[in-house]
Structure 1
């Protein structure tokens, strides 16, 4: 590409003709006429010449200057001839001067047309050189494979050779199906349309010598004047990293879903333990009272007393089971390590994008990635944050321009703050009530979301509060501590 550019620059410099303007152009006309008169004087030694030696003056001036200097050159030629050459009469002088004027103007027009064509050719040459440079750049960076009518590789761009891990010249002549599994040019050519090629499995699978598979997207174009040598060009797009990222996002979403289910079960167990503890305690007290009354009956009530004792034991066992479930699901051991807030939120960007598309909401992230280390269990924290974003997105769906903003800022030694705010209607009434279990404003909600979220944050030693957002809606603020094990 460097050689092509240098050759083009040399061509432009050789083909460019200098144009004289201003007084230099008129001086050029005078000098050209004087030179031609000098030439004619020299030619007088071998014969008589009149206007013919003056033609070069008109040609030189017309090629190097504009109309004014050219007309001056013609006028000077006529004036010089009239003054220096004796004619038979006035008619002869006028006729010859008029003929030279017409011939000179015609020659000048031809020269000017030649100059216009010259400039146009230079512009076209520059345009073609620019397009060639762009094409060379594209072919150097985009994986493209040229195929013949049999589906064999004719040429590969360096990017394509690097993608498939092959040597370009050695790959020439191989079937393209050796590089892309299941590719059949004859079947693809029957579609009779240039554009994306659909694989039976959705994506094409490429083969590399090292055994690493490639997930590919193909676009084919048939050349307008295809020959037996070059028939079609296939543009190859590597989707391997994109598919890997999508798979990681699916795995993360699955983990978040599983953690959310466990947290919801834990919150439900905690609520049930709290609500059932009183009736179970009352039932135990009643059984103890009944047991004392039956014991007063003597031997007759001993059998019934034993039965009541068994019933009381089962009630106490039920309470212990509920407490163990609560401890296991909500206060189990977690792996708390140093994590970066920016990294945890970056992992959630695909999930945020999915929530935004499903609900038609714009979700922005403004995260300060300096001094953002906290002690956290990664999946648990991400689940708490994703729940806050879902709630905010649900709250703004009825707005004309729904927006959810996730902000992050360092608080120095105190920790790091993450705020999820929206431009929804906000929260009215008792703000703290929204964190109570079984409290919800959604027709299909269980009322555990914010309760679970606060539990997760508090188990990390942080706090979750709610207030008014500058956007007009609600703002949920999570303050995470710097160090120390979470309680």
Structure 2
């Protein structure tokens, strides 16, 4: 209601302004007609401008009022021979003035449309200039020589436009061949390089990776005019190198963790038979001691064998200590940042199976205590397992969730819409050397659980809302750790 009242008030003001304009225009035309009376008899002709002015500046109601007032004035001031003559002239004036009014309204509409188009073109021109100012653009002639560089391109090559103008662009991008563009028969597109990307050169000899998009258009003389849009790929290459380095670090950590888990398992499994063998040898020593001098030689041999068994046990325990997950200092990290850094690796894992991995990790209040590489390795393993679990689904889905669940804990879960985990297998899948994959070692979930426990959490598996399995654990939030 509050917005309707001002609108109605504005409409009323415009209507009364139009009526006032019509009255003033007719009065002015009447005064002009009075000045012309000395030159002859003028009837409706001086009143035509009043109708046209009203039509140009006001609406149809005011224009109709101007026509009616003009007719009323003429009928009052000019005597007519008959009623038919008066009516005929009045109708002729009304028809002609209305036609002229329609012409005026059409002109107004064209002017309004022209102004709107001008504003739109100005806005688009400003937007285009802004875009071109931020995108390096180089224009070439048919011979491949530089005609102009915009400021972004000059900055990219660290070369003033006055110096670059007239130079072959091949000096700035070795291998560039303008004939290949002209002979392609296309008006534009991406220009492929042999090495996968172009290399731009700066005056100091430094190079940088470059991609080139081109467009062709004839200039004023009909000669081909080439425009190149350039993109510096340095940041993209740096991000790719960083992702590869992270992947290599995760693989190294995974191998060490797997070896540690295997060493712990072997130490546990071999400890009992070694202890039993040492016990049997000890019993044999007791029997040999009873034999007196006849058993001394054999007793020494058994003692050596017993020593070697004990030494083997120490070696295995030492291997376990060296390769097991040592206690690490947990740092303050953002959970969302740790997961987002895995984006390229997770995309690679998902694309290999045709699975799109969605990440819904809340960035608010996500400061936690974690060892970044170990945490990321656990996430990669859980995500890889989820991707493999949904490989046979018609619409595979894997989602990584992250959100604070209390003032002290932040929960991470990896969920899928696969077949899930049978109830009788939930405890068994975390045991070392247990696997359902052909060629698998059965250490993945065991190592992941060890990593989670080293962070003070507990790896749990349950039924996901998506229909498959949900592996989840909690991390201590930074505030809770500080308060502790």
What TM-score bracket applies, with the shorter chain setting the length? 0.7 to 0.9
SS at match of 1:22: helix
Change (3 A) 1:20 1:48: farther
* Residues 270 and 326, structure 1, Cα contact 8 Å, conserved in 2: yes
Tell me the CA shift for residue 211 of structure 1. Answer: 5.4
Aligned residue runs from structure 1 range 371-450, under 5 A: 372-374=367-369, 376=371, 378-397=372-391, 400=395, 402-407=397-402, 409=404, 416-424=409-417, 425-429=420-424, 431-450=426-445
Q: 1:58 to 1:407 in 2, by over 3 A?
A: closer
Unaligned runs of 5+ in 1: 1-18
Instruction: Answer yes or no: is the 8 Å Cα contact 1:392–1:404 preserved in 2.
Output: no
Tell me, yes or no, if structure 1 residue 59 matches structure 2 residue 52.
yes
Please report the TM-score for the alignment, with normalisation by the length of structure 2.
0.79
- Contact 1:366–1:407 (8 Å) recurs in 2: yes
Picking from 205, 212, 229, the partner of 1:235 is: 229
Aligned counterpart for 1:151 among listed residues 128, 135, 144: 144
**What secondary structure sits across from 1:336 in the alignment?**
coil
Name the CA distance, whole Å, in 2 between partners of 1:126 and 1:481. Answer: 54
The answer to whether residue 199 in structure 2 is matched with residue 219 in structure 1 is no
Superposition TM-score, scaled by structure 1 size: 0.78
What secondary structure sits across from 1:233 in the alignment? strand
Q: Is the 8 A contact 2:157 2:201 kept in 1?
A: yes
Does the aligned pair in 2 maintain the 1:408–1:416 contact within 8 Å?
no
Give the 3 Å change call, closer, same or farther, for CA 444–224 of structure 1 in structure 2.
Answer: farther
Per the alignment, do residues 264 and 226 of structure 1 end up closer, same or farther by CA in structure 2, a change over 3 Å counting?
A: farther
2:424 counterpart SS class: coil
The separation in 2 between residues aligned to 1:61 and 1:199, in whole angstroms, is 67
How far apart, in 1, do the equivalents of 2:455 and 2:328 lie?
Answer: 14
Aligned residues between the structures: 460
Distance in structure 2 (CA, Å) of the matches to 1:430 and 1:54: 100
Which of 103, 112, 117 in structure 1 is aligned with 2:105? 112
Secondary structure of 1:236's counterpart equals strand
Structure 1 residues 18-63: Cα deviation after superposition (integer angstroms, max 9, x where no partner):
x995344344334333322322222223444344333322322332
- Give the conservation status (yes or no) of the 8 Å contact 2:146–2:169: yes
Residue 3 of structure 2 aligns with which residue?
none
Q: Which residue is 1:477 aligned to?
A: 473
* SS in structure 2 at match of 1:441: coil
Matched, 1:256 2:216: no
8 Å CA contact 2:216–2:224 kept in 1: the answer is no
1:355, distance to aligned residue in structure 2 (A): 3.2
Does residue 347 (structure 1) correspond to residue 360 (structure 2)? The answer is: no
Which runs of structure 2 are paired with 1:84-483 in the superposition (5 Å)? 84-85=77-78, 100-193=93-186, 194-209=188-203, 213-223=207-217, 227=221, 231-284=225-278, 302=297, 315-330=309-324, 336=329, 338-342=331-335, 343-359=337-353, 360-367=355-362, 370=365, 372-374=367-369, 376=371, 378-397=372-391, 400=395, 402-407=397-402, 409=404, 416-424=409-417, 425-429=420-424, 431-458=426-453, 460=454, 462-468=456-462, 471=465, 473-479=469-475
Residue 92 (structure 1) shift: 6.4
